Structure 1
Amino acid sequence: MSFSTPFATSQSEPSFEEECEGCPQLSYQQRIIGFCVCCGFGYLLSFIGTMLLVSGGPTSDTIRDFAALYIFGNFIAIAATLFLIGPRKQCQKMCDKTRRFSTIIWLLTLIITFSIAVAGVNVGWVVFMIFVQIAASVWYSASYIPYGRRMIIKLFQSTCFKPCPAVCDPCIKIAT
């Protein structure tokens, strides 16, 4: 069973649904609902984690709870896009030449942040890793926006690295 959506492939090659028989075939409406529910739940978990941190203060227990909920929320939000384009296409996009390295770094930071938060490592390391994870997430997400990474680099060149903008030159080569 095949259907036509904005996410379907061309007629000459088999669609994702025909290639992957183990995956359920969803209508366009079911995909949108799945995406919204999954994405909403992921953001809700991240929000609950943030509220725990704000209400409980920066103790080691609240930082651990925050990190765990925040990371799970991120993984669920990643899973939300699987409803729209399917697992194979999502993996292909994540492993594309332009974002392969940033995908690996982002996923590693998610795993490392979760691991050190659950292991009870110093709160400072958990907070540091959350900031590293957010930076990796922004860099990864910018790869989906045309010239997104270049805009970030130009922002840093005109602000933080204004005295020495040539520091960002290696990043410009990576971003292209």
Structure 2
Amino acid sequence: MWKLQASLLGGDEERQDDFLDDFNGSCPLSPLQRLYGFAGCLAAGLACMLLSLVVFARPIKFAIIFTFGNLLAIGSTAFLIGPGQQIRMMLDTVRIYATAIYVGSVILALVCALLIHSKILTIIAIICEICALIWYSLSYIPFARNMVSELLVRLCDTEI
């Protein structure tokens, strides 16, 4: 009842936090169960990504299986920290752009594979998806993106 009163009095931010906390608490798992869920989901995602290499000659099937594996691997961390915290971390100011580019490239890969049926566009979208996943993953390691950026600048510098 007090949550309803808070929302009526203008506590929308508090109500959103309560919703995410309720979402995290709706499936209470023990730490061991969370670890098993994480490991299983990550293993399934990595298996899908590896099995997608079998159908690499067919870029459309490859894109679907690879993207599904990608989403499973990213979603596996929700078992460890909860889906609400996962969403908060993805939308953090440090990694909001990396998240947007990653989600956009996943959607682009699926659109190219399922709707457009273009092999060349699908391959380009998958390459973008892999690059976006690497950049997104680097956002969780302190100073990793700065180090990679500086390394790329030094490697690609044409001045002698």
TM-score exceeds 0.5: yes
Counterparts of 2:143 and 2:40, CA distance in 1: 30
Name the counterpart of 1:158.
154
- Contact 2:41/2:75 (8 A) holds in 1: yes
Counterpart for residue 109 of structure 1: 105
User: What is the distance in 2 between the residues matched to 1:70 and 1:101?
Assistant: 22
Equivalent residue for 1:168? Answer: none
Instruction: Assess if the C-alpha contact under 8 Å between 1:46 and 1:73 holds in 2.
Output: yes
Task: Check if 1:47 corresponds to 2:53.
Answer: no
Establish whether residue 20 from structure 1 lines up as the match of residue 15 from structure 2: no
Deviation readout 1:103-152 (Å, 9 max, x if unpaired): 01101100110111112432111111111111111111111001011111
Partner residue, 2:66: 70
**1:114 maps to amino acid:** L
Alignment partner, residue 38 of structure 1 = 41
Normalized per residue, which structure has more helix? 2
Whole-Å separation in 1 of the counterparts to 2:137 and 2:119: 27
What secondary structure sits across from 1:159 in the alignment? Answer: helix
- Any stretches of 5+ residues in structure 2 without a counterpart? 1-17
Q: Deviations over 1:67-86 (max 9, x none)?
A: 00000001111110000000
Q: Which residue of 1 aligns with 2:12?
A: none
Work out the percentage of aligned pairs sharing the same amino acid.
Answer: 31
Look up the equivalent residue of 1:104 and give its one-letter code.
A
Deviations, residues 7-65 of structure 1 (Å, cap 9, x unaligned): xxxxxxxxx9x932662100010000000000100111111111221xxx3xxxx1111
Q: 1:79 and 2:81 equivalent? A: no
Query: Which 4+ residue blocks in structure 1 deviate beyond 3 angstroms?
Result: none
**CA distance in 2: counterparts of 1:95 and 1:147, whole angstroms:** 18
Structure 1 residue runs without a partner (length 5+): 1-15, 165-176
SS at match of 2:76: helix
* Counterpart contact for 1:64–1:120, Cα < 8 Å: no
Question: Equivalents in 2 of 1:158, 1:139: separation in Å?
Answer: 18
Q: Give the TM-score normalised by structure 2.
A: 0.82
Contact 1:42 / 1:72 at 8 angstroms: preserved in 2?
Answer: yes
RMSD, aligned CA: 1.8
Partner of 2:96: 100
TM normalised by structure 1 equals: 0.75
Count matched residues.
Answer: 140
Deviates more, 1:121-130 or 1:89-98: 121-130
